[in-house]
């Protein structure tokens, strides 16, 4: 899989960061974007340079359609191709439905769902020309259950939407050698969820422990590989059996 190019949104922290480093070590050329994590991005670039592959980290708010499309175009023009898109970026907050603000409501969709539309439109033409591509999205472990979520309403709806977009893209792009799959984490020890919340959830996780970012990286690496060429439109739960 060396000499392939991966784009990773939200790549300066958490799962995105760990995946960027793992792919670089595997020979992938890696371009990540971040919105606010400037210091983390500088640290990431140091780690990526040590791998010896071409890499870059750019500040880009992919909730802005023009910015997202410009980022993809820039990488394609300078590096010649984009083989994989991994959508790791996304905001998360807990707030009661009737205490949610209009701004907060829109943020959940702007950062968790809409970028999939912008970025897939941007990367698909090149993948179609090359007859090969991988797109990986992230939802949440219990999204398929369509449960009421008084404190996560907008976030949860956006993540359900991620499943629908994933399956739509998979069905549309499969004839052209492109796979589109979703990973749905439960509780993973990364910057995305407060430590106290993770600790409180351990007793509710059948496996008895919180997952690690490396667990997500392992699933991503499989989905990017040729071994997963016939896996398309899947939603892989990464939750230790929580949320089923």
Catalytic residues: 156
User: How far is Cα 200 from Cα 127, in angstroms, rounded to an integer?
Assistant: 43
Taking the CA atoms of residue 117, residue 122, residue 126 and residue 128 in that order, the dihedral angle to the nearest 10 degrees is 20
User: How far is Cα 174 from Cα 77, in angstroms, rounded to an integer?
Assistant: 25
| C-alpha distances in Å from residue 65, one per residue of 54, 97, 173 | 26, 27, 21
User: How far is Cα 55 from Cα 19, in angstroms, rounded to an integer?
Assistant: 13
Beta bridge partners of 33: 9, 58
| C-alpha distances in Å from residue 201, one per residue of 107, 111, 195, 196, 207 | 26, 25, 10, 9, 11
The helix or strand, by DSSP H or E, that contains position 7, with its residue range, turns out to be: strand 5-9
User: How far is Cα 224 from Cα 229, in angstroms, rounded to an integer?
Assistant: 8
Residue 242 C-alpha from the chain's centroid? 20
User: How far is Cα 149 from Cα 142, in angstroms, rounded to an integer?
Assistant: 11
């Amino acid at each position: 899989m060396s000499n392939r190019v991966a784009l990773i949104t939200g790549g300066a922290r958490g799962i995105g960061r760990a995946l960027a480093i793992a792919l670089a070590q595997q020979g992938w050329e890696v371009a990540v974007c971040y919105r606010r994590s400037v210091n983390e991005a500088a640290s990431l670039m140091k780690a990526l340079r040590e791998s010896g592959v071409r890499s870059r980290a750019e500040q880009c708010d992919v909730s802005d359609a023009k910015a997202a499309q410009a980022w993809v175009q820039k990488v394609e023009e300078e590096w010649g191709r984009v083989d994989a898109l991994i959508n790791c970026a996304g905001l998360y907050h807990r707030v009661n439905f009737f205490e949610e603000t209009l701004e907060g409501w829109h943020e959940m969709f702007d950062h968790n769902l809409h970028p999939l539309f912008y970025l897939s439109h941007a990367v698909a033409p090149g993948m179609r020309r090359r007859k090969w591509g991988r797109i990986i999205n992230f939802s949440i472990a219990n999204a398929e259950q369509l449960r009421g979520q008084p404190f996560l309403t907008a976030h949860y709806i956006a993540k359900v939407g991620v499943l629908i977009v994933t399956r739509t893209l998979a069905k549309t792009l499969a004839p052209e050698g492109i796979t589109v799959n979703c990973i749905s984490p439960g509780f993973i020890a990364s910057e995305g969820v407060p430590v106290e919340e993770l600790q409180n959830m351990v007793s509710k996780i059948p496996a008895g422990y919180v997952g690690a970012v490396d667990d997500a990286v392992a699933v991503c690496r499989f989905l990017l590989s040729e071994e997963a060429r016939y896996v398309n439109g899947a939603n892989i739960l990464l939750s230790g059996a929580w949320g089923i």
